[in-house]
Amino acid sequence: MFNLLKTAVLMAAVTALFMALGSVLGGRDGMLIALLVAVGMNFVSYWYSDKLVLKMYNAREVDEASAPQFYRMVRELAQRAELPMPRVYLIDENAPNAFATGRNPEHAAVAATTGILRVLSEPELRGVMAHELAHVKHRDILISTVSATMAGAISMLAYFAMFFGGRGSGGRSNPIVSLLVMLLAPLAASLIQMAISRTREFEADRGGAEICGDPQALASALEKIHRYASATPLVAAERHPETAQMMIMNPLTAGGLRSLFSTHPSTQERVARLLAMASDHAR
């Protein structure tokens, strides 16, 4: 319920932003057009944001025939978590990473890169997918998916403003629009930061460790993914940095504005908590 409320607030905030910018760019008519665009965007974001994100990553759906071992692993973990079976996707990327998406557990999907299947051992991969299912169980996936879509829309609005209002008379740069463009990306990042709490990753780590029954394997997976992530870029995430917060590990290698979209706690702290959890279980 709380994540649903946060989603509604986020949608309202973005609608207000679109109307304000529409007013600046086109007066009363611009504000009305922006309102209609925002309403349509809210509808699409709620019902289809998962499909949009999966398309951004060129994810392909797999089943027991096309990816038997991986599919059976997800099914067994979903049963342990007492969740409906999610749709399962693979992303043809070398960078090891994974995420969950969907508006609720009944319409959830989990996706993993082919790189993570090659890099991790079976227990480590189980830990990662259990982490993603914990996000599903905690109902984190709606707000994370919608916020990614909304932030992407704000970035598109920056290009729209530059294209339609970026030049004044005589071909000179419009200072108001230039300022708006400079502010929009940090604003999109700020919306995500407000909507997404870093504590959700700690909770998903804890929940994932409980689902798979092996906190140490998940800790080992996080360390391994962290090492690879710093050297192997996830191309789709670099193109759509607003989606990085959905991943089990921040996939962005560049600094600058992209670093604004980082919503993950430090890997060292996550690993330390999981190892402490493993120690407690061993007693």
Is the pLDDT assigned to residue 182 strictly greater than 60? Answer: no
> pLDDT category, 35, cuts 50, 70, 90?
confident
Q: Which pLDDT does position 185 carry in this prediction?
A: 54
Residues 39-83 have pLDDT tens digits of 777 777 777 778 989 999 999 999 999 999 999 999 999 999 999
Tell me which of 34 and 176 has the higher pLDDT.
34
Is the pLDDT assigned to residue 21 strictly greater than 70? Answer: no
Q: Which amino acid is at 253?
A: T
Which is catalytic among the residues 93, 124, 132, 201?
Answer: 132
132 is known as an active-site residue: yes
Q: What is the mean pLDDT of residues 195-218?
A: 89
Cα gap 72→88, rounded to integer Å: 10
> pLDDT category, 160, cuts 50, 70, 90?
low
Tell me which of 123 and 198 has the higher pLDDT.
123
Count of domains observed in the chain: 1
Q: Which domain holds residue 62?
A: 2-282
**105: Cα separation from own chain's centroid:** 16
Residues 78-98 have pLDDT tens digits of 999 999 999 999 999 999 999
Q: Which pLDDT does position 215 carry in this prediction?
A: 97
Is the pLDDT assigned to residue 229 strictly greater than 50? Answer: yes
Q: Which pLDDT does position 26 carry in this prediction?
A: 65
Q: Which pLDDT does position 146 carry in this prediction?
A: 74
Contacts of 213 (CB under 8 A, 6+ apart): none
Is the pLDDT assigned to residue 218 strictly greater than 90? Answer: yes
Of 15-19, 190-194, 249-253, the poorest mean pLDDT is in: 190-194
Contacts of 218 (CB under 8 A, 6+ apart): 124, 127, 128, 130, 131, 205, 208, 209, 212, 274
Is the pLDDT assigned to residue 193 strictly greater than 80? Answer: no
Cα gap 178→172, rounded to integer Å: 11
Taking only Cα atoms into account, the Rg of the chain, rounded to an integer number of angstroms, comes to: 20
**By percentage, how much of the chain surpasses pLDDT 90?**
45
Q: Which pLDDT does position 168 carry in this prediction?
A: 45
Average pLDDT along the chain: 81
Tell me which of 264 and 55 has the higher pLDDT.
55
